Amino acid sequence: MTTLGAVFPPTCPPELLVPAARAAEEAGVDELWLWEDCFKESGVAAAAIALTATTRLRVGVGVMPVPLRNVALTAMEVATLERAFPGRFVPGIGHGVQDWMGQVGNRAESPLTLLREYATALRALLAGERVTTEGRYVRLHDVALDWPPAAAPLVLSAATGPRTVRLTGEVADGTILEAISTPDDVRTARAVVDEARVASGRADGHVVVVNLATTGDARADADAVRARADAGADTVVLQPAEEDAAFDAEAFVRYVGTQVRPLL
């Protein structure tokens, strides 16, 4: 069965997260996904809240913008949540919106180089390795986590273009595709990722997560989920088509679990 997720968008105030997470779990949603959009809610803090409020629900962050975060700090936060909630946290990283990164003085001249260095270092730290690296952006000297996770979680990376998709196949454990991705886009991304993994000598599996804007028609939304799953998506995360002040997070995650899920 397709792994089905729902988004709690950061346009909702943080105090609504606990009831929304509990509603998602009660409705049978597999995963609740959070966004770390500037300058709204911290993805990691929000994930900790949602994980604490539930017992089964997996919680993903799609994504933490790497120009905004030192890789050692991200490794510490991910390791902490993985140890406290084994197998329930799904960390995602990405370029970040470049205008936002410019606002905080962290715009990278080469986002691809930064993402490559960052993902490589993050996965090594979470695997319990001691890391020394002197890259263009990521510089670590003899850094190792005191509390690495017993089993390193998969590190996913967002991708919006063919070069980034190929990079995620090389250096990440999964690829997150945006909501405008059609089934053909998913199929193409899956082929690029698989080719990149073969070329880089990686034999382990790779997860493809696709965001999907809902229509409010449960049957149409279920058909759209199936189409992306058939095209190679392992997880489809439903997000509201429109976000406004009237958006009801609890109602939305219940819709995903109780109306869309039974039609898959």
pTM: 0.95
Q: What is the mean pLDDT of residues 159-184?
A: 96
State which amino acid sits at residue 58.
R
Cβ neighbors of 101 (< 8 A, separation 6 or more) are 65, 67, 68, 107, 108
pLDDT score of 242: 66
- Can you give the pLDDT at residue 243? 57
Q: Write the CA distances from 159 to 165, 168, 171, 179, integer angstroms.
A: 5, 7, 12, 11
Structure tokens at 138: 């990521």
Distinct helix (H) and strand (E) counts, the chain: 9, 10
Give 58-91 pLDDT, tens digit per residue. Answer: 999 999 999 999 999 999 999 999 999 999 999 9
Q: What does the pLDDT read at residue 244?
A: 55
Q: Please list the alpha-helical segments (H only) found in 127-236.
A: 162-171, 183-199, 218-230
Give, rounded to a whole angstrom, the gap between the first and last alpha carbons of the chain.
8
pLDDT of residue 1: 73
Residue 202 binned pLDDT confidence (cut-offs 50, 70, 90): confident
**Domains parsed from the chain with CATH numbers:** 3-263 (3.20.20.30)
Selection from 261, 246, 243 nearest residue 8 by Cα: 243
